[in-house]
Structure 1
Amino acid sequence: MTERETRRPVLMVLAWCWVGVPFAYGLAELVRKAIQLFGG
Protein backbone atom coordinates (compact mmCIF):
# COMPACT_ATOMS: atom_id res chain seq x y z
CA MET A 1 0.00 0.00 0.00
CA THR A 2 1.16 3.50 -0.72
CA GLU A 3 1.16 6.31 1.78
CA ARG A 4 -1.80 7.88 -0.01
CA GLU A 5 -3.87 4.70 0.31
CA THR A 6 -3.18 4.42 4.03
CA ARG A 7 -3.94 8.08 4.72
CA ARG A 8 -7.29 8.15 2.94
CA PRO A 9 -9.34 6.23 5.58
CA VAL A 10 -7.94 8.48 8.30
CA LEU A 11 -8.98 11.58 6.36
CA MET A 12 -12.43 10.11 5.77
CA VAL A 13 -12.91 9.47 9.49
CA LEU A 14 -11.76 12.98 10.34
CA ALA A 15 -14.07 14.49 7.71
CA TRP A 16 -17.07 12.54 9.03
CA CYS A 17 -16.25 13.61 12.59
CA TRP A 18 -15.89 17.23 11.47
CA VAL A 19 -19.48 17.11 10.19
CA GLY A 20 -21.00 14.48 12.45
CA VAL A 21 -20.06 15.82 15.87
CA PRO A 22 -21.65 19.28 15.44
CA PHE A 23 -24.66 17.67 13.71
CA ALA A 24 -25.16 15.27 16.63
CA TYR A 25 -24.83 18.11 19.13
CA GLY A 26 -27.36 20.22 17.22
CA LEU A 27 -29.77 17.32 17.00
CA ALA A 28 -29.47 16.65 20.75
CA GLU A 29 -30.12 20.32 21.50
CA LEU A 30 -33.12 20.31 19.17
CA VAL A 31 -34.63 17.32 20.96
CA ARG A 32 -33.92 18.87 24.36
CA LYS A 33 -35.59 22.18 23.41
CA ALA A 34 -38.55 20.41 21.81
CA ILE A 35 -39.12 18.40 24.99
CA GLN A 36 -39.03 21.62 27.03
CA LEU A 37 -41.42 23.33 24.62
CA PHE A 38 -43.97 20.57 24.20
CA GLY A 39 -43.58 18.13 27.04
CA GLY A 40 -42.18 19.35 30.20
Structure 2
Amino acid sequence: MNEISSPPETSAPRRLPLLVFAWLWVAAPFAYGLDRLIVNLLKLFQ
Protein backbone atom coordinates (compact mmCIF):
# COMPACT_ATOMS: atom_id res chain seq x y z
CA MET A 1 0.00 0.00 0.00
CA ASN A 2 2.50 2.60 1.17
CA GLU A 3 5.71 2.30 -0.79
CA ILE A 4 8.71 4.52 -0.19
CA SER A 5 9.69 6.02 -3.50
CA SER A 6 13.39 6.14 -4.25
CA PRO A 7 14.96 8.98 -6.22
CA PRO A 8 15.47 8.32 -9.90
CA GLU A 9 18.80 6.81 -10.90
CA THR A 10 19.52 9.65 -13.34
CA SER A 11 19.91 12.27 -10.59
CA ALA A 12 23.10 10.71 -9.18
CA PRO A 13 25.51 11.47 -12.07
CA ARG A 14 24.26 15.05 -12.24
CA ARG A 15 25.30 15.68 -8.63
CA LEU A 16 28.76 14.15 -8.99
CA PRO A 17 30.54 17.38 -10.06
CA LEU A 18 28.89 19.23 -7.17
CA LEU A 19 30.01 16.57 -4.70
CA VAL A 20 33.57 16.67 -6.03
CA PHE A 21 33.61 20.46 -5.81
CA ALA A 22 32.23 20.42 -2.26
CA TRP A 23 34.80 17.87 -1.07
CA LEU A 24 37.63 19.86 -2.66
CA TRP A 25 36.27 23.08 -1.12
CA VAL A 26 36.67 21.48 2.31
CA ALA A 27 39.65 19.18 1.77
CA ALA A 28 42.03 21.66 0.13
CA PRO A 29 42.11 24.22 2.99
CA PHE A 30 42.16 21.37 5.53
CA ALA A 31 45.17 19.79 3.83
CA TYR A 32 46.95 23.16 3.66
CA GLY A 33 46.27 23.85 7.33
CA LEU A 34 47.46 20.39 8.29
CA ASP A 35 50.63 20.93 6.26
CA ARG A 36 51.31 24.27 7.98
CA LEU A 37 50.63 22.69 11.38
CA ILE A 38 53.15 19.92 10.77
CA VAL A 39 55.76 22.36 9.48
CA ASN A 40 55.33 24.62 12.51
CA LEU A 41 55.42 21.69 14.93
CA LEU A 42 58.65 20.46 13.38
CA LYS A 43 60.16 23.95 13.76
CA LEU A 44 58.99 24.13 17.35
CA PHE A 45 60.60 20.86 18.41
CA GLN A 46 63.90 21.24 16.57
TM over 0.5: yes
- Match for residue 14 of structure 1? 21
Structure 1 runs (4+) greater than 2 angstroms displaced: 4-7
Greater helix share, 1 or 2? 1
Bigger-Rg structure (1/2): 2
The root-mean-square deviation of aligned C-alpha atoms, in Å, is 1.3
Q: Distance in 1 between matches of 2:21 and 2:28?
A: 10
Query: Partner residue of 2:4?
Result: none
- Structure 2's unaligned 5+ residue stretches are 1-8
**With structure 2 as the length reference, what TM-score do the two structures score?**
0.71
May I ask how many residue pairs the two structures share in their alignment?
Answer: 38
Q: How much identity, in percent, do the aligned residues show?
A: 47
The offset of 1:5, in angstroms, is 3.4
The one of 8, 26, 37 aligned to 2:33: 26
